[in-house]
Amino acid sequence: MATRFKSDETFRDDYRYGNSDEGVLRFPFPFVEDSYMYSVNMEPHTRSATPGVFAAAFDVDEHYVTECAERARALALEPGRCMVLPHMRDAEWDTLELIMESLALDYPDQFTLERHGLDWTWTNRPLGIHQSFRFGDATTLPHPPFEYIVRQAQGDFTLQDQRDGTLYIDGGVATTPADWSLAFDVGMTFHEWHGPVPLAHQAGVFDRALQYLMRIRYGEPARRLNWTMTVHPRLDTSPENYPLWGPDRAGLTAENIGSQLFLRVELQSLFRLPRSNALLFGIRTYLASLDDLTRVPKWGRRLHRVMRDLHPDIAGYKGLTRYHDVLVAHLAQFDDGEPTTPGIAADIAVLPA
């Protein structure tokens, strides 16, 4: 089924955003059981046989056009949100190739890549782009190759260089960050940039995750889901702009929390890049309001149980502490005490009216 792209959404200022019923049902609900704790929840990023967010290497959904517009707006205001260290040039071209090839393979009606040696022509129909360029020659593109292609993709990306037995975050684009700063973190090792995360270090999660990541091979990408919560459908929850979005947390009430609080899920994917041996880390953000999610009975029950029993340190790290009581009280009405099935599936094909 062809995706109908929304054209009038905004992710800042007046916050015009919404999910269709199909958008809700395909939402990557992140809780596989009725409780949550950090784990190395990695799995192969293989294309699922059934439609949904796992059916493509880089999922393109109904928010594609408006999210690309939001990225352009964010980069116009703050160009430092995209930066790549000079030694990552090969990784930039690797990224461009991977995303172009994947989009053309997964969505042939929307994207086309024609190659004649190093002379390539890229067609992006949803954004109305038709670009001929020479692969490897940055002067033939309107932006540097990494920036050029991530402006046509949903979600943030970082580039990890692998050396000294660890991964260094040596480039990326972060216009949709969940409270982390690319400008501050650039050049850090894997353990350094995860420094502020509570509990997981003691559990050895990052030591094991790093070992897993450094062994990811070309053509065998991996993925995991991560989550937090955001007031309003705001993609730019950067620490830089915390004074702009922080006050919204204090404005939640029992009356507005259902429509104003969004579960923010990151589909994180990792790809080994062929020339640079770098890792491309995709951080694709999905937003759904509590009102959206609680239309699915299983998700409403489970969300209540997960939030009610959430470890206070995790709630604190994710910024939920201020409104946690209001959140749990709101969700209680959707929990009838019935058991839930394992896994993240919605278990319904059509949303109740």
Partner 1 sequence: MSTGTASNRPRYAPLAPDPRARAHLLVTDHQDIAEAAFAPGIGLADFPERWDVVAHALVLPEPFGGPGVQHFRSASHLLALLRHRLAAETMGLRLYVTGSEPFVWDAARVAIEAGMGREEMRLFATGKPVRRVSCVHCRTINPGVTTTLVTCAGCGVVLTVRDHFSRVHNAWMGVQCDAEVPGEVPAIEDLSA
- Candidate residues 246, 274, 297, 316; the one interacting with partner 1 per rule CB under 8 A: 246
Q: Which residues of 116-151 are buried (b: 16+ CB within 10 A; e: fewer)?
A: eeeebebbbebbeeeeebebeeeeebeebbbbbbbb
- Applying CB under 8 A, does 193 fall inside the site for partner 1? yes
Question: How many CA atoms are closer than 13 Å to the CA of 49, on its beta-carbon side?
Answer: 0
| Three-state DSSP state, 349 | coil
The residue (of 124 and 160) whose beta carbon lies closer to partner 1 is 160
The residue (of 100 and 209) whose beta carbon lies closer to partner 1 is 209
# of chain residues touching partner 1 (CB under 8 A): 34
To which H or E segment does residue 172 belong?
strand 166-173
Q: In residues, how long is the chain?
A: 353
| Three-state DSSP state, 262 | strand
**Distance in angstroms between the alpha carbons of the first and the last residue of the chain:** 22
Tokens (6 digits) for 251 = 């404005």
- Candidate residues 86, 196, 342, 352; the one interacting with partner 1 per rule CB under 8 A: 196
The residue (of 3 and 238) whose beta carbon lies closer to partner 1 is 238
CA 327 to chain centre: 23
Q: How far apart are CA 319 and CA 129, in angstroms?
A: 39
Helix runs in the chain, H state only:
21-25, 64-77, 89-106, 145-150, 182-185, 190-193, 205-214, 242-249, 257-260, 290-293, 297-308, 312-317, 324-331
Residue with tokens 């340190």: 313
- Applying CB under 8 A, does 338 fall inside the site for partner 1? no
Other Cβ atoms less than 10 A from the Cβ of 350: the count is 7
- Applying CB under 8 A, does 198 fall inside the site for partner 1? yes
- CB of residue 192 to partner 1, shortest distance in Å: 4
The residue (of 274 and 322) whose beta carbon lies closer to partner 1 is 322
- Do 42 and 221 meet the contact criterion of CB atoms below 8 Å apart? no
- Applying CB under 8 A, does 12 fall inside the site for partner 1? no
The residue (of 108 and 312) whose beta carbon lies closer to partner 1 is 312
- CB of residue 344 to partner 1, shortest distance in Å: 28
- Do 193 and 168 meet the contact criterion of CB atoms below 8 Å apart? no
Rg (CA), the chain: 20
- CB of residue 322 to partner 1, shortest distance in Å: 6
User: Active-site positions?
Assistant: 224
The residue (of 297 and 316) whose beta carbon lies closer to partner 1 is 316
Contacts of partner 1 in 202-241 (CB under 8 A): 202, 204, 206-207, 239-241
Contacts of partner 1 in 293-322 (CB under 8 A): 322
- Applying CB under 8 A, does 38 fall inside the site for partner 1? no
Give 260's DSSP letter: H
- Applying CB under 8 A, does 79 fall inside the site for partner 1? no
- CB of residue 129 to partner 1, shortest distance in Å: 33
- Relative to beta strand 82-84, strand 261-272 is unpaired
- Candidate residues 105, 132, 184, 254; the one interacting with partner 1 per rule CB under 8 A: 184
Contacts of partner 1 in 137-176 (CB under 8 A): 164-166
- CB of residue 211 to partner 1, shortest distance in Å: 10
- Applying CB under 8 A, does 249 fall inside the site for partner 1? yes
Residues making contact with partner 1 (CB under 8 A):
164-166, 181, 184-188, 191-202, 204, 206-207, 239-243, 246-247, 249-250, 322
